[in-house]
Amino acid sequence: MPTVNGDQNDNSCLAAAADQVAGWDSSQAPPLSFTADSPLRDAGQDDSQEDALRDEFLGALEALGGSAGNGRLREVLEWDEATYDAVKAELLSRRLIVPGRGRGGSVAMEDGSAGETSVDGQTPSPAPRTRAPNSSRAASAPSSFEQAFRAIDDCLRKEAGCGTELDYTEQTSWLLFLKYLDGLEDDRAAVAALEGRSYSPILEEPYRWSRWAAPKNASRQLDHHAALTGDDLRDFVNQRLFPYLERFKQSASGPNTIEYKIGEIFGELRNKISSGYNLREIIDVIDGLRFRSQAEKHELSMLYEEKIKRMGNAGRNGGEYYTPRPLIRAIVQVVNPQIGESVYDPAVGSAGFLCEAFEFMRKGSATGRELSTADLDTLQNRTFTGKEKKSLAYVIAIMNMILHGIEAPRVLHTNTLTENLSDVQERDRFDVILANPPFGGSERKEVQQNFEIRTGETAFLFLQHFIRLLRAGGRAGVVIKNTFLSNADNASVALRQKLLTDCTLHTVLDCPGGTFQGAGVKTVVLFFEKGTPTRQVWFYQLDPGRNLGKTNPLNDRDLAEFVELQKTFADSPKSWSVPVDSIDPQSWDLSVKNPHGGEAVALRSPHEIMAEIAALDVESAEVLGRIRGLV
């Protein structure tokens, strides 16, 4: 794993490598005319799916520096082996990629000339691959971006205050944010100059990234004489920079301004990097990254998502930070948000739902239509709202949305459940809600007073919030524990009744165990529309045909059948419909029971589970007693 020592040449290598890989634009690739014997045709893909798979493959390979081992690339894509091999074979046949030289098999992006057609209609021979000057070490690395993230993690591992993936992501995030903010200042100043007006910077000069973190000399290289390091750097960050940035919250004109977000972020976080020399190494690496263009942001956003994924998989609270992106994409496709509609996630976490919804809508939603300038302005400024209670998730959400191209994320740092639902007015409602609320937690009695159905279960409180905040005709796709479908307690029964009578619960997706890494519960996804009572519920029991786990996660192919069948609520061995008048009006039980011979999902009551735990404890005590008798 490469290390970073702050040397000027090392930074030049990283910057050169970033320049080298940032030029690929998959939209410039020639259209693929798949033949009848195409590997993707054999895999059952249609034209639109083929194009999407090709773009995703090339985009991931680009983000990994243009070359990667097959295992590493397939892990990033979260594809099964058959899909990966089919797409790879097709791209190899079209000479858009070439076999690599890594152990165990690898691939590399061919130069742009490989896909070009000459005047006489012939495809020329591929030009030799070039490497950045004086950067053989960086060119052979997986990616300048990936190399940078690894180098930052290496530095953070040396810090006693940074012991987990959560710490690594937190500390990387605030530094990336300040680097982004410096670029935003430059862009705003340039626009003001073109319009012939003056520009007042957000940050005072001593606190600009280009002044304290990365001052440059006349050659645009790091000025080692002016750059702080060691104790001077650490003391400046802790004693001057963070207090200065925290004060922005009080002086900001409103919570949706960038100034307010600066104050929120730096009022909640603290610098955990105690060594000023380590901090200098990390700053030098981040300063070598560029994410001004959409292509650069795309590359960096993919790796940032990987960091969030690793952070989410680091402990049992993983689902709190990371919802599998294939599941989110399927939910977004079913709900199908449109330009002009407002999209809301009141438990935003790392903003996965809002980022995927942005990507989906930016590409024209389900129709794929090209967006106008007015559409893009609406998408950027009047579409997305998120709320998040926890400080770390709040920072990650803002950074993730920025890297995905949402320039001024409207994410509020607040506890959603403290809002009184009786105060909600029409202007407070939303057209679309996408969310994976935290479950298993509990809220204080005074918070429960805000809800019609009072319960300590946070997920049930959030579900009431969703129903209340949706406009009439509004649509939602939300993740919840599968025990919600059958729990016999008063709150669960009342909430199921409310959902079925106030909304059309049209679809229930039953997810298999292992969908969420590190979470010991099974989940379902509820899709509903507010305004009319439910007449019929369509169930789909997701069965990927394998055990899901960290090395074999859920992928888009697993959910393709669900998305297709859901359009017509078609029956299949995995799907069926239940008329609402066949549901017991006393219990409103919605248990997943496949009538086509599938195994019924056993949804036990909490009392049954606790009784089994107690019995196992007794059995364990007996076994332990016998062992002690033998000692």
Whichever domain contains 542, its CATH number is: 3.40.50.150
Lowest-confidence region among 11-20, 77-86, 131-140, 214-223:
131-140
pLDDT (0 to 100) of residue 166: 82
pLDDT (0 to 100) of residue 560: 94
Neighbouring residues of 490: CB distance < 8 A, sequence distance ≥ 6: none
Residue 356 lies in a domain: yes
Higher-scoring residue by pLDDT: 71, 217: 217
List, edge to edge, every strand of the sheet that includes 536-541: 411-413, 384-388, 343-345, 430-435, 470-481, 523-530, 503-510, 536-541, 575-579
The amino acid occupying position 140 is S
Residue 560 lies in a domain: yes
264, 294, 324 — which closes off a domain?
A: 294
pLDDT (0 to 100) of residue 6: 39
Note the residue count of the chain: 631
pLDDT (0 to 100) of residue 471: 96
**107, 78: one domain:** yes
pLDDT (0 to 100) of residue 52: 73
> Exposed, middle or buried: residue 587 (CB in 10 Å: 0-12, 13-18, 19+)?
middle
Q: What mean pLDDT comes out for the span 83-108?
A: 79
Neighbouring residues of 599: CB distance < 8 A, sequence distance ≥ 6: none
Higher-scoring residue by pLDDT: 476, 119: 476
pLDDT at 35 over 70: no
Lowest-confidence region among 9-13, 319-323, 550-554:
9-13
Residue 302 lies in a domain: no
Report residue 281: phi and psi, to 5°: -60, -45
Q: State how far the Cα of 46 lies from the Cα of 31, in Å rounded to an integer.
A: 14
Q: What mean pLDDT comes out for the span 591-618?
A: 72
Strands 343-345 and 97-99, how do they pair? unpaired
**413, 525: one domain:** yes
Please report, rounded to a whole number, the percentage of residues in the chain having pLDDT higher than 70. 80
**360, 472: one domain:** yes
Strands 384-388 and 411-413, how do they pair? parallel
Q: For residue 430, name the pLDDT band (cuts at 50, 70, 90).
A: very high
Show the domain range for 24: 8-119+127-139
Higher-scoring residue by pLDDT: 4, 555: 555
pLDDT (0 to 100) of residue 396: 86
Q: For residue 61, name the pLDDT band (cuts at 50, 70, 90).
A: confident
pLDDT at 169 over 80: yes
Lowest-confidence region among 94-98, 280-284, 411-415:
94-98
pLDDT at 69 over 60: yes
Report residue 529: phi and psi, to 5°: -125, 135
pLDDT (0 to 100) of residue 36: 38
pLDDT at 385 over 90: yes
pLDDT at 294 over 70: no
Structure token pair of residue 93: 């046949």
**68, 95: one domain:** yes
**344, 473: one domain:** yes
CA distances from 623 to 610, 614, 616 (A): 20, 14, 11
In the chain, the number of structural domains is 4
247, 266, 294 — which closes off a domain?
A: 294
Contact 87, 54 (CB under 8 A): yes
Nearest to 559 by CA among 319, 324, 313: 324
Q: What mean pLDDT comes out for the span 603-619?
A: 75
Tell me the per-residue pLDDT of 229-241, one tens digit each, with 9 for 90 and over: 999 999 999 999 9
Residue 304 lies in a domain: no
Q: What is the mean pLDDT of the chain?
A: 81
Residue 288 CB neighbours (<10 A): 26
pLDDT at 337 over 90: yes
Alpha carbon of residue 280 to chain centroid: 29
Lowest-confidence region among 142-156, 311-325, 426-440:
311-325
Q: What mean pLDDT comes out for the span 587-609?
A: 73
Q: What mean pLDDT comes out for the span 596-610?
A: 64
Q: What mean pLDDT comes out for the span 434-439?
A: 90
Structure token pair of residue 454: 């009072």
Please report, rounded to a whole number, the percentage of residues in the chain having pLDDT higher than 90. 40
DSSP state of 541: E
Task: Choose the most confident range, by mean pLDDT, from 76-80, 126-130, 356-360, 519-523.
Answer: 356-360
**348, 475: one domain:** yes
Q: State how far the Cα of 340 lies from the Cα of 110, in Å rounded to an integer.
A: 40
pLDDT at 540 over 70: yes
Q: What mean pLDDT comes out for the span 246-268?
A: 86
Lowest-confidence region among 106-120, 264-278, 402-416, 608-622:
106-120
pLDDT at 495 over 90: yes
**530, 465: one domain:** yes
Residue 413 lies in a domain: yes
Task: Choose the most confident range, by mean pLDDT, from 139-153, 195-209, 249-263.
Answer: 195-209
Q: State how far the Cα of 233 lies from the Cα of 237, in Å rounded to an integer.
A: 6
Q: What mean pLDDT comes out for the span 399-420?
A: 87
**574, 486: one domain:** yes
pLDDT at 395 over 80: yes
Tell me the per-residue pLDDT of 113-158, one tens digit each, with 9 for 90 and over: 333 333 333 433 333 333 333 333 333 334 567 788 888 989 999 9
**586, 631: one domain:** no
Q: For residue 48, name the pLDDT band (cuts at 50, 70, 90).
A: low
Residue 559 lies in a domain: yes
**593, 516: one domain:** yes
Q: For residue 314, name the pLDDT band (cuts at 50, 70, 90).
A: low
Tell me the β-bridge partners of 434: 477
pLDDT at 30 over 60: no
pLDDT at 435 over 80: yes
Residue 357 lies in a domain: yes
The amino acid occupying position 623 is V
Query: What is residue 614's three-state secondary structure?
Result: helix
Higher-scoring residue by pLDDT: 381, 307: 381
**363, 225: one domain:** no
Lowest-confidence region among 223-237, 243-257, 573-587:
243-257
Residue 152 lies in a domain: no
Query: What is residue 477's three-state secondary structure?
Result: strand
Strands (E), 463-608: 470-481, 503-510, 523-530, 536-541, 575-579
> Exposed, middle or buried: residue 545 (CB in 10 Å: 0-12, 13-18, 19+)?
exposed
Sign of CA dihedral 75, 80, 83, 89: positive
**527, 419: one domain:** yes
Q: For residue 32, name the pLDDT band (cuts at 50, 70, 90).
A: very low
Q: Rg of the chain's alpha carbons, rounded to an integer?
A: 26
